[in-house]
Structures are given as C-alpha cells and as structure tokens.
C-alpha cells in the first residue's frame, strides 16, 4: 500500500511530474473514454481539414453507427445537410486559422426527429510538437444541459420557449420583453449572457433554420414561407436569408432539395 507520506506535497517541478505521468500512459483514447460517462456531453477531435480524428461514443450513436472507426476520416458534410455543415466547418477553420478558442457557441440545427434544437459547442485549437495548430478539439453540450448552468436563464426561459413554439409568427422584441417582465435592454443583456447573441439574432437564427427545413423538405412557395415566418414580404425574407445563409432561398432550394 502506498503510504500517505509518499504522495503528500510533491514539491518537484510540476511540469516534469505531469510529463512523466503522461509519458507512461499507453498511447490510446483512455481520457476520451471519460466523456462516455458524462451525460449530455459529446467530445470530438478534427484535423486541420475538419476531418474526424476521434469522437465519443455518443456522437457515434447519434450518427447511427456502432463503432468509432465508421466515423473517423469523414467530415460534417457526410452527416449533416450542407448548409449546416458549412457553419460547423467555418467555425473549425476560424479556430485553426486564429488559434483562438470558440467558447459556448450556440448552434441551432435539427434533431433526428426533425425538430429544432439548440446545442452549445466549445472548440479549442490542437497544437503539434512545433506549436503549430494541427486541428481542433471540442465538446458539445445539449441546450437543456447548458441552460441549467446558465444562472440568468430562469428569467428568460419563457421567452425562449415562446420563440421555440411561435417562431413561425410575428414576434416583436417588445412583446418578448413584456413576457419576461424585463425592459428590452435587460432582455438583450440576458440573452447575451446566456447565448452570446441578442434576442433579435436568436429569433432570426431560429427562423432561418426553419426556413432551410421548409425549402428542403416541402414544396411550399417562398412567398408563403416568408409569410409563415413573420416577414413582411418575400423581399425582406430573401434579404435576411442571403445575409445568414449566403445564397437566395430559390438557389438554396435548387442546391439542397432532397426530392
């Protein structure tokens, strides 16, 4: 048995102590396995071309596979619609290019049941032995899990649920502020604290993802989609869609129609 005296107060070089320990580890994914036991957390590593290098079992399961090997070497484009993968890869490349972490990025996309959902992603650069960035590593938390740790959330939970359920209608910031019993300035500050974006951006991002789903999976006309999502006319909808997605709704539909 190891005596307490032998492990108490190691006063040597901490970096050397740490290096010696990790050098003894068998090269494997031992630490990664920890994430398989943390509810609501998924883990991934990508190379500088945004190809999967390692993922937690929760991601393997979500993609519909049994083994990590079936995911390695592939990209988000193999698993998500192109417009969603574009956003993920764009964020990857920003972290790789700048070396700056991306912390608690709120992303809105669709579950396997085709329901809108929110996820919170943190991405960090991975450095090689020459201190050059060779990829990224990150964790994905469910929106539900994230909100429990976001202290200001309780004051805007009703607003978020109202947006979730009514984003296809006309919603004003003033109406949302009144629902939360806050001023518009206070509501904006709460959304920035929790989601890192204004309530207007949160609402617009929700509507844009809903619009993408309509364009891909239905034959609803663009003017009707604009009306359903609360835009005053098709021109305003097209302007916002181009701003957030990068192309017009009609071009997006041609590029991504599933049938």
DSSP 40-96: TEEEEEEETTS-EEEE-HHHHHHTT-SSGGGTTT--GGGTS-HHHHHHHHHHHHHHH
Confidence of residue 250 (pLDDT cuts 50, 70, 90): very high
Confidence of residue 209 (pLDDT cuts 50, 70, 90): confident
Which residues contact residue 177 at a Cβ distance below 8 angstroms, ignoring those fewer than 6 apart?
183, 184, 186, 187
Q: Which residues pair with residue 122 across a beta bridge?
A: 139
Q: How far apart are CA 138 and CA 121, in angstroms?
A: 7
Give the end of a domain, one of 127, 145, 163: 145
Domain region containing 192? 150-249
Residue 12 confidence (pLDDT) above 90: no
| C-beta separation of 123 from 104 below 8 A | no
Claim to verify: residue 57 and residue 132 sit in the same structural domain: yes
The whole-model pTM stands at 0.62
Domain count, the chain: 2
Long-range contacts of 174-180 (CB under 8 A, 24+ apart): 180/155, 180/156
Q: How far apart are CA 77 and CA 89, in angstroms?
A: 9
Claim to verify: residue 165 and residue 119 sit in the same structural domain: no
Q: How far apart are CA 226 and CA 234, in angstroms?
A: 6
Claim to verify: residue 134 and residue 160 sit in the same structural domain: no
pLDDT 10s digits, 52-84: 999 988 888 878 888 999 999 999 998 877 777
Claim to verify: residue 139 and residue 206 sit in the same structural domain: no
Q: Which residues pair with residue 120 across a beta bridge?
A: 106, 141
Q: How far apart are CA 102 and CA 250, in angstroms?
A: 32
| Residue 217 in domain | yes
Which residues contact residue 92 at a Cβ distance below 8 angstroms, ignoring those fewer than 6 apart?
46, 50, 123, 136
The pairing of strands 102-110 and 52-55 is unpaired
| Residue 58 in domain | yes
Of 124 and 30, the one with more pLDDT: 124
Claim to verify: residue 139 and residue 159 sit in the same structural domain: no
Claim to verify: residue 127 and residue 161 sit in the same structural domain: no
Give the end of a domain, one of 114, 145, 176: 145
Claim to verify: residue 139 and residue 156 sit in the same structural domain: no
CATH number at residue 98: 3.30.450.20
| Residue 13 in domain | no
């Amino acid at each position: 048995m190891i005596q307490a005296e032998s492990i108490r107060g190691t006063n040597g070089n901490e970096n050397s102590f740490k290096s010696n320990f990790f050098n003894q580890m068998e090269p494997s994914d031992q630490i990664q396995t920890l994430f398989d036991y943390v509810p609501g957390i998924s883990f991934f590593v990508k190379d500088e071309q945004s190809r999967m290098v390692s993922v937690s079992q929760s991601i393997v399961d979500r993609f519909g596979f049994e083994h990590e090997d079936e995911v390695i070497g592939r990209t988000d484009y193999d698993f998500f619609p192109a417009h969603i993968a574009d956003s993920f890869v764009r964020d990857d490349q920003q972290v790789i290019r700048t070396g700056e972490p991306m912390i608690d990025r709120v992303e809105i996309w669709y579950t396997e049941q085709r329901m809108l959902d929110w996820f919170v992603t943190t991405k960090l650069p991975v450095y090689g032995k020459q201190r050059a960035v060779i990829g990224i590593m990150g964790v994905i938390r469910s929106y539900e899990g994230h909100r429990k740790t976001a202290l200001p959330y309780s004051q805007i939970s009703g607003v978020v649920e109202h947006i979730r359920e009514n984003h296809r209608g006309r919603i004003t910031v003033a109406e949302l502020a009144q629902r939360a019993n806050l001023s518009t300035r206070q509501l904006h500050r709460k959304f920035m604290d929790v989601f890192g974006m204004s309530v207007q951006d949160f609402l617009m991002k929700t509507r844009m993802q809903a619009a993408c789903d309509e364009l891909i999976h239905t034959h609803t006309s663009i003017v009707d989609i604009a009306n359903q999502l609360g835009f005053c006319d098709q021109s305003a909808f097209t302007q916002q869609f181009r701003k957030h997605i990068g192309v017009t709704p009609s071009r997006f539909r041609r590029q991504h129609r599933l049938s």
